[in-house]
Structure 1
Amino acid sequence: MTKKFLIYMAVVIAVALGVYAYVGGFSAVAVTQTQTSQLFIAGKYFEGRTDAKELGELYQQVGQIVEKKQLAGDLAGIYYNNPSKETKTIKAFVGVAVTDTAVALPAGFAVRVVPAGVPVLQGELEASLMVATKKIYTALFDYAEEHQLTLEEFYVERYPNGKPAVIQARLKK
């Protein structure tokens, strides 16, 4: 290998590491056992394959609603299963965390309520949505296994703008 090639590769690796650090890739997930606070999510239900075109379109629709301020709140969702590598199916309610149920909803949207006082395992991470989701779920599942906790298939995700991403996994009683 030439010296020029090695310098080029070192620059590429340094840039990649810099970008990964910038989006929060090296940040640590804070995992705690806590209880839910009441949360209202305005959104749409989806059930199907994780690679379905309709799911991607739903995420885009919700993103545009937040961006255009048609609903004031954070990107959020309720996930009723953990898609396995075999099935690749998901049951999800994707939407926006809103302050109350009296908001004017876009066509086809409904409100679901996450009740207060339910025991959960909560992960928080200051990182971009693309990095945060995988890192938080990995940390939650590892923590549950390490502490011999059983999780229900009920997950609440919230991505507040300018604040850490939060994912809660309901604990089995």
Structure 2
Amino acid sequence: MRNKFLIFLAIVVGVGLVIYTFLGGFAEVRVSQTVSTPLFIAGQYYEGNTNSDALGQIYQQTGKAVEQKQLTGDFAGIYYNNPGKDSKTIKAFIGVAVQDTTGALPAGFTIRVVPAGRKVLRGEVDANIIIAPKRIYGELFDYAKEQNLTLREFYVERFPEGKPAVIEVELAGK
């Protein structure tokens, strides 16, 4: 009986590792200091509990807008508080990074501009959106600590399809 359990456990662990690898769990996170480029995000602002139905609805509306071709671009977001902290509240603008800001937007959506020329710490990884944020934030915060860098509470996430996930954190001036 015990041998069957150990075999079952080994199979479950093996399948888990294959899935984690397929999602990019072991991909290298690349961290660099750079200057930001302009980014236009069509989306909706949310402030509140991370478990709220309202937050889930914003994600659903964003996905629906892309699916129905009302918006064309990459899933993106701006976070105004640290998403890496174990907090139950979030301040975020969630939407799609768009190229054309002149088109009609879905109801309730607005455009926010992430300005160019900001000094940022940038993390990139070839991983699924399920895994990428946690992996990138961990590396960014470790790098900032090692390099004695101060980060601002302004985080920009972008998840282009078929390309590496990107997160930029603004560096505080010295």
TM-score above 0.5: yes
Q: Name the residue aligned to 2:131.
A: 131
Give the CA deviation at 1:3.
2.2
| Higher deviation after alignment, 54-63 or 4-13 | 4-13
Q: Name the residue aligned to 2:88.
A: 88
Aligned residue for 2:97, secondary structure, equals strand
Cα displacement string for residues 22-70 of structure 1 (whole angstroms, at most 9, x for unaligned residues): 0011111100001110110001111111111111111111112122221
Aligned residue for 1:112, secondary structure, equals strand
| Aligned 1:36-47 pairs, distance under 5 A | 36-47=36-47
Give the CA deviation at 1:7.
1.6
Q: Name the residue aligned to 1:122.
A: 122
Aligned residue for 1:134, secondary structure, equals helix
Are 2:161 and 1:161 equivalent residues in the alignment? yes
Give the CA deviation at 1:4.
2.2
- Tell me the distance in 1 between the aligned counterparts of 2:50 and 2:109: 20
Q: Name the residue aligned to 1:58.
A: 58
Percent identical: 60
Cα displacement string for residues 92-112 of structure 1 (whole angstroms, at most 9, x for unaligned residues): 110100003212100111101
Q: Which runs of 5+ in 2 are unaligned?
A: none
Give the CA deviation at 1:5.
2.0
Q: Which runs of 5+ in 1 are unaligned?
A: none
Aligned residue for 2:155, secondary structure, equals strand
Matching residue's letter, 2:25:
G
Cα displacement string for residues 69-101 of structure 1 (whole angstroms, at most 9, x for unaligned residues): 21010000111111543x521111101000032
- Tell me the distance in 2 between the aligned counterparts of 1:63 and 1:126: 21
Matching residue's letter, 1:97:
A
Are 2:64 and 1:27 equivalent residues in the alignment? no
Q: How many residues align?
A: 172
Q: Name the residue aligned to 1:2.
A: 2
- Tell me the distance in 2 between the aligned counterparts of 1:34 and 1:103: 31
- Tell me the distance in 2 between the aligned counterparts of 1:90 and 1:53: 13
Q: Name the residue aligned to 2:12.
A: 12
Aligned residue for 1:70, secondary structure, equals coil
Matching residue's letter, 2:118:
V
Aligned residue for 2:130, secondary structure, equals helix
Q: Name the residue aligned to 2:68.
A: 68
| Aligned 1:133-152 pairs, distance under 5 A | 133-152=133-152
- Tell me the distance in 1 between the aligned counterparts of 2:62 and 2:37: 22
